[in-house]
Structure 1
Amino acid sequence: MDSPEKRPPTRERILDAALNIFSAKGFHDTKLDEIVAEGSVSKGSIYFHFPNKEKLFIALVDQFADLIERRAKEAIAQEAPGMQRVRAALEAVLETFGKYRRPAKLLLVQAVGLGSVFERKRLEVNDRFAQLIQIYLDEAIADGSIAPVNSHIVAHAWMGAIYNVVIQWVYTGEPSQEDIMDALLPLLLKSVDYR
């Protein structure tokens, strides 16, 4: 038997188990007992950390969104100010989605149509990333890299384009990450008259 020091914390085991089961069966067909068995935890432990299945699912969405944001910010921090940061962030996001396809599919595909609670969470995550894009668009406007635009609207339009391309890619594996970058980045940059 594993010693307590070697086992991941209970909350982490629950999230890992939930990801496995939700990914395999979908939200509606997943039973808490399956997560209990997969994570080697008690049902009481699940309810201690998550009052219901919806909160558990939302915790997975938050965990994945945090990972994507962290990776994008790490990539951005390595670049000089300007539009090169946008490219670095987009590459980091695509690499993260590619490496973690199961949670990406859960967030982008399965969370759609699960009801108003999930839709609000999805919109919250979308707004969070649009705000990140807006920060760097505003920076590019300030340094003269792009003409003045309504960065709030442009950031949301970019999110729509990125979201739809990434859904296609996560679901089918096509087009390749390189093809996405080669097609999407010039389109996004042209939309803001990047100089």
Structure 2
Amino acid sequence: MASVKTRLIFRAAVDVFSERGFEKATMDEIAAKARVAKGTIYYHFKSKEELFVFLVEQGTELLHENVLSHLTEEMDAQEKIREIIRAQLAFFTAYRDFCIIILRETWGDEARHREFRRMLVHYVHSIRQVIEQGIEEQVFSVENAEIAAWSLFGSTSITALHHLFADKTVDLVALAPAMQEIALGGLHAKEIT
């Protein structure tokens, strides 16, 4: 983000969009929350929709950086998948309001959904590469790494959203072990020994 004012607008927009939803939020509320003139917002963004797209773009970049920065070359594919799940849940805990915005608002409007999906492609592609690594290491047996990557992102995100709506204080990272077990072990019955 380029300027201090843009950062103030970003934070205020996250607060207002998460509290009121995209349709009910107004540029006046965002300006008041950011403590800037409404004209300042319009100087940076032509419309509420453009501001929303900026917010989602910045947020998905943060997601990408925060989650993937935890992966190392030394990790095998299973360790990377465990870390992706844990770090994504940690991100959604740290950026709770942003999580609610992107997961609630982007599914409601087709244009917003397409834009959000376009922004997520880079992140999900990184997950796909980890899954392909696991296929090469012969620890994953999926046939379609892209579907697996989108499924991993989607299941982790929707589970996070469900718990964030149910309890604002929930520690999403505590859900990581169960989600890692499902992601890496599937829903197969355990063998009786």
- What TM-score, normalized by structure 1, do the two folds share? 0.83
1:146 aligned partner: 140
Say yes or no: does 1:73 pair with 2:65.
no
2:111 aligned partner: 117
Q: Decide which of 16, 27, 33 is 2:11's aligned counterpart.
A: 16
Displaced runs of 4 or more, over 6 A: none
Letter of the aligned partner of 1:130 in structure 2?
V
Q: How does 1:149-168 map to 2 (within 5 A)?
A: 149-168=143-162
Structure 1 residues 152, 192: closer, same or farther in 2, change over 3 A?
farther
Runs of at least 5 residues in structure 2 that lack an aligned partner in the other structure:
189-193
Using the TM superposition, give the Cα deviation of residue 177 of structure 1 relative to its aligned residue in structure 2, in angstroms: 2.9
Say yes or no: does 1:92 pair with 2:87.
yes
**What value does the CA root-mean-square deviation take over the aligned residues?**
2.4
1:59 aligned partner: 54
- For 2:149 and 2:38, how far apart are their aligned partners in 1? 42
2:191 aligned partner: none
Instruction: Confirm or deny: 8 A CA contact 2:27 2:38 kept in the other structure.
Output: yes
Partner SS state of residue 107, structure 2: coil
Deviation string for 1:161-188 (max 9, x for gaps)?
A: 2232122122113975355222221111
Q: Percent identity, please.
A: 24
Say yes or no: does 1:35 pair with 2:30.
yes
- For 1:176 and 1:16, how far apart are their aligned partners in 2? 22
Structure 1 residues 68, 79: closer, same or farther in 2, change over 3 A?
farther
Letter of the aligned partner of 1:161 in structure 2?
S
Using the TM superposition, give the Cα deviation of residue 64 of structure 1 relative to its aligned residue in structure 2, in angstroms: 1.5
- For 1:70 and 1:134, how far apart are their aligned partners in 2? 16
Instruction: Confirm or deny: 8 A CA contact 1:82 1:136 kept in the other structure.
Output: yes
Instruction: Confirm or deny: 8 A CA contact 2:89 2:156 kept in the other structure.
Output: no
How many residue pairs match? The answer is 185
- For 1:177 and 1:24, how far apart are their aligned partners in 2? 20
Q: Decide which of 158, 172, 177 is 2:172's aligned counterpart.
A: 177
Letter of the aligned partner of 1:180 in structure 2?
L
Q: Decide which of 41, 45, 59 is 2:40's aligned counterpart.
A: 45
Instruction: Confirm or deny: 8 A CA contact 1:23 1:102 kept in the other structure.
Output: yes
1:5 aligned partner: none
- For 1:181 and 1:38, how far apart are their aligned partners in 2? 34
Letter of the aligned partner of 1:169 in structure 2?
H
Instruction: Confirm or deny: 8 A CA contact 1:14 1:39 kept in the other structure.
Output: yes
Letter of the aligned partner of 1:34 in structure 2?
E
